[in-house]
Structure 1
Amino acid sequence: MKILKTYLKLFIIVSLFIVSKNIQAQQISNEEINAKIDSILPLLTLEEKVAMCHAQSKFSTPGVGRLGIPEVWMSDGPHGVRGEINWDDWGYAGWTNDYITAFPALTCLASTFNPDLAKAYGISVGEEARYRKKDILLGPGVNIYRTPLNGRNFEYMGEDPFLASTMVVPYIHGVQQNGVAACVKHYALNNQELWRGHINVEVSDRALYEIYLPAFKAAVEEGNVWSIMGAYNQFRGQHTTHNEMLMNKILKEDWAFDGVVVSDWGSTHNTKEAALYGLDMEMGTGTDGLTTSTQNAYDYYYLANPFLKMLKEGEIEEAVLDDKVSRILRLMYRTNMSVNRPLGRINNQEHLDVARKIASEGIVLLKNENSFFPINPNKEITIAVIGENATKSLTIGGGSSELKAKNEISPLEGLKNRYKKATIIHAKGYASGPSQYARVVEPTDDLEQLKKEAIEAASKADVVLFFGGLNKNHLQDCEGGDRQSFGLPFGQDELIDEILKVNANTGVILVSGNAVEMPWIHNVNALMQTWYLGSEAGNAMADVISGDVNPSGKLPFSFPKKLTDNAAHSFGENSYPGDSITQYYKEDILVGYRWHDTKKIKPLFAFGEGLSYTNFEISKVATAKKAYTENEQITISATVSNTGDFNGSEVVQVYVGKSKSKVERAVKELKGFQKVMVKKGESETVEISFNVKNLAFYDETISDWNLEKGGYVIYVGNASNHISKEIKISIQ
């Protein structure tokens, strides 16, 4: 029997080795994929090829059964795989096996300033998408944070194109190593939800190339992303999903994108433009207004029967169709026709650990007077936990990125898990109503009673933790509508003021994907900006509040003191939100901290800002030399010393500005960063490099990038408003 078991083990090992070798041998190159595509195209009828270019259900496109070509299945993301949707309508299918791990929102990921975590995020969510048998995960989002009223900012990676570019590439790599296509969205200039379906954006070429396109370009050229989603809005009078300049000229010609362009759901508006201007796969269209009830409704799509008719009549060449089908087949060979595709995993401890790590590392400490945080978990104290966001589920809601989490640890639950010796009392304090995507539902609570209970709880406590902010209801952080005011909703400002009257030892923990106005900021002891943190939200918050994790998050966007301090809003309604037909990006390239620095408008909290429980000093900042030529790398070295009492991580940030430029420039722009962990009492050396070519501006007079010669200033610090050293260099 023992010999039999030994032979059996040997057989399994040899078999696995043979299978592994066969899989490696079966991996095919792009040239072989192209050859296979060329051999398949002649076998397909015109009708079959057209059918592959449009949906057959809410989230799938048809294959060709007679040739063994599979369907393409996709799911909303990017913070987790959305619950299963019905075939023909937006209702949930009621599955019991589609619960997933909810990962933190991408604002949180961006605030980690940690590309390694972006890779771990992508791998984990990609594994869950693969387990759910999805071929395309509809995310990540990289639209630039232009206004704090945009309801969808929580899905994006902040206001800086370099930060978004740096974080999106490893996320894509992580997802796609699972044989699942990432689908970067929303290409491009979808920077508000109000009137998103038709608003026409007018923006300069320079702002387009320098601010709004770099993250998409990085996704294509460095991330090798396999699909991209068009946006709803128009750009220069043409819808972006089938926009000749964006799709054909920039994406497919200049960047040589070889993947599939997927429409956003309902963002297609014209058959001929969709055919000729870059759209490959049309989803979610309601062309006849009766999509959910008309038989064979998907045949009424723009890239369905109307497309077929134009092809048959010779109005559109078949080569146009063949290019689309070639791209779709290429995506299939990378995903559902790949021979070495892994099986995926879901709801495992490793994914929860990744979610918790990202959440805790993304939390940003913005104020901490009298060392309010951390709060010792071993002290016998009374903690008043006040606020609806301490208990409200924040994985549901928000629109298409809502999640069906297997578990969600609330902040209150997380604190109770960690503070076993403390007496924790909770009062809701305010109410927002149930989570809704497309409408506001008023709360049924007795609001005056909630306020009274909160004040009473605060008066009895040694310390007050107020969990407020926004949530993922309509007209807050939610798809389909923008916020209608900059202040906190539901009477939170007034409630905080009343709490402070009975207990000055109060710290505020904001949960949001956006900046908010803070009239009470000078009166509270501490402020923590948290995000929508997913399954492990409460545990991650308790990790940071207790000091188990030293906060190291940095803001990925600026917090203005008042709304008109924001660049987009400073120019009035023509800039945001527009006149319902057109809007003009009058701030041009001066987005976020670029605006605050250049116009000398002090923000409430600056881009890149974030405190720690320890103290860091950045010293010995140097470059190898002071003069460079066009093709050289600039390397900045610095020493980071931890002079406090906690081990911790700091983010060294490198900005560059051009003095005496022939064009308007921001005072400085982020060009590099590195996160480094330094033990207390110790020092670490970091080196941050970038190419001289990255200092070029987009010159509209030549429609190309232009590197100015002359003097530049390198700024090194730990926030855009906290610079430790300036170094002058020249480009010759």
Structure 2
Amino acid sequence: MGEDPYLAGEMVVPYIKELQKNGVAACVKHFALNNQEKWRSSVDVSLSDRALYEIYLPAFKKAVVDGGAWSIMGAYNRIWGQHCCHNERLLTDILRDEWGFDGCVITDWGGAHDTREAALNGLDIEMGSYTNGLTSESEFTFDDYFLARPYLAMIQKGEVSDSTVNAKARNVLRLIFRTAMDTEKPFGSLASKEHYDAAKQIGDESIVLLKNSGILPLDPAKHKNILVVGENATRMLNQGGGSSELKAKDIYSPLDALRKTFGKGVRYAAGYKTGRSLYESEEIIPQPILDSLRREAVEMAKTADVVIYIGGLNKNGFQDCESSDRREYNLPWGQDRIIEELVAANPNLVVANISGNAYAMPWLDKVPAVIQSWYLGTMIGPSMADVISGKVNPSGKLPFSFPKRIEDNGAHSFGEICYPGVEDASKGPRQEYLDDIFVGYRWHDTKKIPALFPFGHGLSYTKFNYGKPTASAKQIKDGETLTIEIPVTNTGDKEGKEIVQLYISDEKSSLPRPVKELKGFKKLTLAPGQTQTASFTVTVDDLKFFDDKAHEWVAEPGKFKVLIGASSTDIKATVPFSYSK
């Protein structure tokens, strides 16, 4: 859900609440610090308590405390030398004692490793031990699970109390009563018109317009001779990726949707080929085939009015796939060369890539428009076609920064110890989060390293003007709030939606802090010429940081600033205020 803990928390809570209204348990995962695939089952992560509480736990806490999640899935990795699926500090001290969680803790598939720890440290349900759930089975049976016969033997020997069984049984039964045995839960529905409409709206409002020199939108009445290039225009992106694979009833591809929107003059060239979606491996495509596909696409581009390139990443191994990390920050399969040659052949090139994360764009200055789409599921095609044609005005904002180079990312600035870690002959792989609390835009701001596209960035086919903000007070004290309002006007000729973002900056603190932190956002829908006011409420909690020595959240008296903008770098207005106890 992005690089910002506040954003992730705000997104997860309504999802959980609406899901669980149907008697279906939300299972929040992976708890916690599951941030790599290479050594995901064994890497031992160490980090400061400030990073833990300020960056990596807030969304989980919101899911539990505000969302009321009924289940949590542990991560594969270790923290402080102990696997997350039976980690005493994570599952007992933090999850249950600090947050009051009363639901079930479930292992990821094959995530249990120790019977004593599983018995004593808060694990309730063990799944898939001795298998990986996808490519292998096991001669072991359920009786061989860590929480089966080995657990029973420990209880019979008096090594662990049978009260641990009672606690687990209570949690499992409570989950059953909340779901399968809830006689008042609704029946629900599958693949209804309402589902498709919701998927379309989500897709429409998720696509991000990164760059537009004026070529977009493409008017279907004027553009008939269009060439679509790129495997993702036709690839079934619900397939592959390990456990992220979906068996959808319908998938409407971008190419089909573009042909429906722009007519029979839409031609297609693959441009490249990536092979089958394989788990922990990849199909190597011979270079002569890749060269042939590229040359074909470039030659066809010369006679098109407009070229729409739909590439990016997919669910193959070493791309956006479970079990393997990406090998490089650039696009794979020679896509940078394809884009360079396409724009040289036809300057009217729209890059509309699909991916789950950022990538390098060495061709950015040469192309007139860039659209970023995601794995949007069933209605990905219609959403992309409607944004390209202008039927939908793009309004999405980036949930994470796009660095210019991989080295500009904090986790890649400290060598292998920070990512992917280093191997210890006796203790296995270990990893240190040396970027600490300076993740994403916090890193870019603090180190003064400009991102290629910053957190919160996203353009529109219309323009918005931010007016002068007002504040309800110049100072707040404990128990008080500060109301910030700012008028926003649509000064263009198209209806559009703008996400107004509010950041807080602490001018002086006893511990290092980011330059600014997101603390609010509002999405406004504005007709041409219309003005609406975005209103925010700032509380003392919004001013706090985590003091790891005192183990508490602290707001220090002093001067602060409210920064209001269209992205983390496009700040439109600043409001100073102070806080005193």
Task: Tell me the TM-score normalised to structure 2 length.
Answer: 0.97
- Which letter maps to 1:161? P
Q: Residue 294 of structure 1 aligns with which residue?
A: 139
Q: Residue 116 of structure 2 aligns with which residue?
A: 272
- Which letter maps to 1:582? R
Q: Residue 402 of structure 2 aligns with which residue?
A: 559
- The equivalent position to 2:313 in structure 1, one of 470, 479, 482, is 470
| Distance in 2 separating the partners of 1:409 and 1:665 | 45
| Distance in 2 separating the partners of 1:471 and 1:624 | 48
Task: State whether residues 259 and 331 of structure 1, in contact with CA within 8 Å, keep that contact through their aligned partners in structure 2.
Answer: yes
- Residues 254, 378 of structure 1: alpha-carbon distance in 2 compared, 3 angstrom cutoff: same
Q: Residue 584 of structure 1 aligns with which residue?
A: 432
Q: Does 1:361 align with 2:199?
A: no
Q: Does 1:503 align with 2:351?
A: no
Q: Does 1:640 align with 2:488?
A: yes
Classify the secondary structure of the residue corresponding to 2:226: strand
Task: State whether residues 630 and 693 of structure 1, in contact with CA within 8 Å, keep that contact through their aligned partners in structure 2.
Answer: no
- The equivalent position to 1:314 in structure 2, one of 135, 158, 162, is 158
Shift of 1:275: 0.7
Q: Residue 572 of structure 1 aligns with which residue?
A: 415
- The equivalent position to 2:278 in structure 1, one of 426, 436, 458, is 436
Matched ranges for 1:124-143 at <5 A: none
| Distance in 2 separating the partners of 1:438 and 1:547 | 40
Over the aligned positions, Cα root-mean-square deviation in angstroms equals 1.5
1:631-674 CA-to-partner distances (Å, cap 9, x unmatched) read: 22222111110001110000010000111211100000000001
Shift of 1:379: 1.9
1:239-279 CA-to-partner distances (Å, cap 9, x unmatched) read: 11111111000000000000000000111100000111111
Shift of 1:294: 3.2
More divergent stretch after superposition (270-279 vs 375-384): 375-384
| Distance in 2 separating the partners of 1:262 and 1:527 | 41
Task: State whether residues 217 and 387 of structure 2, in contact with CA within 8 Å, keep that contact through their aligned partners in structure 1.
Answer: yes
Q: Does 1:382 align with 2:228?
A: no
Q: Residue 450 of structure 1 aligns with which residue?
A: 293
| Distance in 1 separating the partners of 2:129 and 2:470 | 56
| Distance in 1 separating the partners of 2:194 and 2:284 | 39
Matched ranges for 1:93-172 at <5 A: 157-172=1-16
Classify the secondary structure of the residue corresponding to 1:400: helix
Q: Does 1:427 align with 2:272?
A: no
- The equivalent position to 2:129 in structure 1, one of 268, 275, 285, is 285
1:57-108 CA-to-partner distances (Å, cap 9, x unmatched) read: xxxxxxxxxxxxxxxxxxxxxxxxxxxxxxxxxxxxxxxxxxxxxxxxxxxx
- The equivalent position to 1:522 in structure 2, one of 359, 365, 372, is 365
| Distance in 1 separating the partners of 2:348 and 2:108 | 48
More divergent stretch after superposition (211-220 vs 281-290): 281-290
| Distance in 2 separating the partners of 1:294 and 1:612 | 57
Classify the secondary structure of the residue corresponding to 2:257: helix
| Distance in 2 separating the partners of 1:690 and 1:188 | 29
| Distance in 2 separating the partners of 1:540 and 1:613 | 15
Task: State whether residues 210 and 698 of structure 1, in contact with CA within 8 Å, keep that contact through their aligned partners in structure 2.
Answer: yes
Q: Residue 94 of structure 2 aligns with which residue?
A: 250
1:199-226 CA-to-partner distances (Å, cap 9, x unmatched) read: 0111000000000000000000000000
- The equivalent position to 2:462 in structure 1, one of 575, 594, 614, is 614
Q: Residue 534 of structure 1 aligns with which residue?
A: 377
1:136-164 CA-to-partner distances (Å, cap 9, x unmatched) read: xxxxxxxxxxxxxxxxxxxxx00000000
| Distance in 2 separating the partners of 1:196 and 1:680 | 50
| Distance in 2 separating the partners of 1:173 and 1:250 | 22
Task: State whether residues 51 and 436 of structure 2, in contact with CA within 8 Å, keep that contact through their aligned partners in structure 1.
Answer: yes
1:501-523 CA-to-partner distances (Å, cap 9, x unmatched) read: 21011110110001000100000
List alignment gaps of at least 5 residues for structure 1: 1-156
Q: Residue 51 of structure 2 aligns with which residue?
A: 207
Task: State whether residues 203 and 383 of structure 2, in contact with CA within 8 Å, keep that contact through their aligned partners in structure 1.
Answer: yes
Shift of 1:377: 1.3
- Which letter maps to 2:430? T
Q: Residue 698 of structure 1 aligns with which residue?
A: 546
- The equivalent position to 2:448 in structure 1, one of 600, 619, 622, is 600
- Which letter maps to 1:508? V
Classify the secondary structure of the residue corresponding to 1:181: coil
| Distance in 2 separating the partners of 1:416 and 1:312 | 68
- The equivalent position to 1:404 in structure 2, one of 244, 247, 268, is 247
Task: Tell me the TM-score normalised to structure 1 length.
Answer: 0.77
Shift of 1:291: 8.7
- Residues 604, 293 of structure 1: alpha-carbon distance in 2 compared, 3 angstrom cutoff: closer
- Which letter maps to 1:258? D
Task: State whether residues 307 and 350 of structure 2, in contact with CA within 8 Å, keep that contact through their aligned partners in structure 1.
Answer: yes
Classify the secondary structure of the residue corresponding to 1:455: helix
Shift of 1:287: 8.1
| Distance in 1 separating the partners of 2:273 and 2:131 | 39
- Residues 288, 506 of structure 1: alpha-carbon distance in 2 compared, 3 angstrom cutoff: closer
Classify the secondary structure of the residue corresponding to 1:245: helix
| Distance in 2 separating the partners of 1:181 and 1:405 | 21
Shift of 1:451: 1.1
Shift of 1:696: 0.9
Task: State whether residues 476 and 579 of structure 2, in contact with CA within 8 Å, keep that contact through their aligned partners in structure 1.
Answer: yes
- Residues 293, 723 of structure 1: alpha-carbon distance in 2 compared, 3 angstrom cutoff: closer
Shift of 1:587: 0.7
- The equivalent position to 1:395 in structure 2, one of 221, 225, 238, is 238
- Residues 553, 288 of structure 1: alpha-carbon distance in 2 compared, 3 angstrom cutoff: closer
Task: State whether residues 366 and 526 of structure 1, in contact with CA within 8 Å, keep that contact through their aligned partners in structure 2.
Answer: yes
1:510-561 CA-to-partner distances (Å, cap 9, x unmatched) read: 1000100010000000000000111111101011111111000000000000
- Residues 293, 197 of structure 1: alpha-carbon distance in 2 compared, 3 angstrom cutoff: closer
Shift of 1:410: 0.8
| Distance in 1 separating the partners of 2:147 and 2:128 | 12
Q: Does 1:681 align with 2:523?
A: no
Q: Residue 416 of structure 1 aligns with which residue?
A: 259
Q: Does 1:486 align with 2:329?
A: yes
| Distance in 2 separating the partners of 1:634 and 1:582 | 44
Q: Residue 26 of structure 1 aligns with which residue?
A: none
Task: State whether residues 229 and 309 of structure 2, in contact with CA within 8 Å, keep that contact through their aligned partners in structure 1.
Answer: yes
Shift of 1:189: 0.5
- Which letter maps to 1:564? E
Identity across the alignment (%): 51
| Distance in 1 separating the partners of 2:159 and 2:479 | 47
1:175-232 CA-to-partner distances (Å, cap 9, x unmatched) read: 1011000000000010111100010111000000000000000000000000000000
Task: State whether residues 159 and 557 of structure 1, in contact with CA within 8 Å, keep that contact through their aligned partners in structure 2.
Answer: yes
Q: Residue 426 of structure 2 aligns with which residue?
A: none
Task: State whether residues 288 and 300 of structure 1, in contact with CA within 8 Å, keep that contact through their aligned partners in structure 2.
Answer: no
| Distance in 1 separating the partners of 2:14 and 2:538 | 18
Task: State whether residues 648 and 677 of structure 1, in contact with CA within 8 Å, keep that contact through their aligned partners in structure 2.
Answer: yes
Classify the secondary structure of the residue corresponding to 1:665: coil
| Distance in 2 separating the partners of 1:452 and 1:287 | 44
- The equivalent position to 1:224 in structure 2, one of 65, 68, 73, is 68
Task: State whether residues 291 and 298 of structure 1, in contact with CA within 8 Å, keep that contact through their aligned partners in structure 2.
Answer: no
